[in-house]
Amino acid sequence: MSSSELQRLIAEASVLAGAQHPCAILGHKWKTTGGRQCPFASDAAWPNCSQAVYECESCDDIDYGDPGGPGHNDCFVMGPCSFACEQARDSLSEDASR
């Protein structure tokens, strides 16, 4: 058993004893479960681009790209995930400046 697995078991036991949820203590344990339309895409520009959707293995919370989550980090912090996303973002920026 790894130390992170042991920490998670201790956190889960703490929850059963009335403490905070393990994700509040240790953070979510995200895994990808599918995708959704890229926030940079539109029907007119790059409609087939997608963004990963994440689900926490511990609490089943789902992240659809909300600020602070892994999906938002993929697209807005780390930058566009592909050339198609970069072009869609640039296209939206150009449309907004007109």
23 within a domain of the structure (yes/no): no
Residue 84: pLDDT above 70? no
Residue 50: pLDDT above 80? no
Per-residue DSSP letter, 93: H
3 within a domain of the structure (yes/no): no
22 within a domain of the structure (yes/no): no
* Total domain count, the chain: 1
Model's pTM, two decimal places? 0.60
Name the pLDDT band for 12 (thresholds 50, 70, 90): confident
Name the pLDDT band for 43 (thresholds 50, 70, 90): low
12 within a domain of the structure (yes/no): no
What does the pLDDT average to over 44-50? 66
Name the pLDDT band for 36 (thresholds 50, 70, 90): confident
Summary mean pLDDT of the chain: 77
**Domain range holding 67?**
30-97
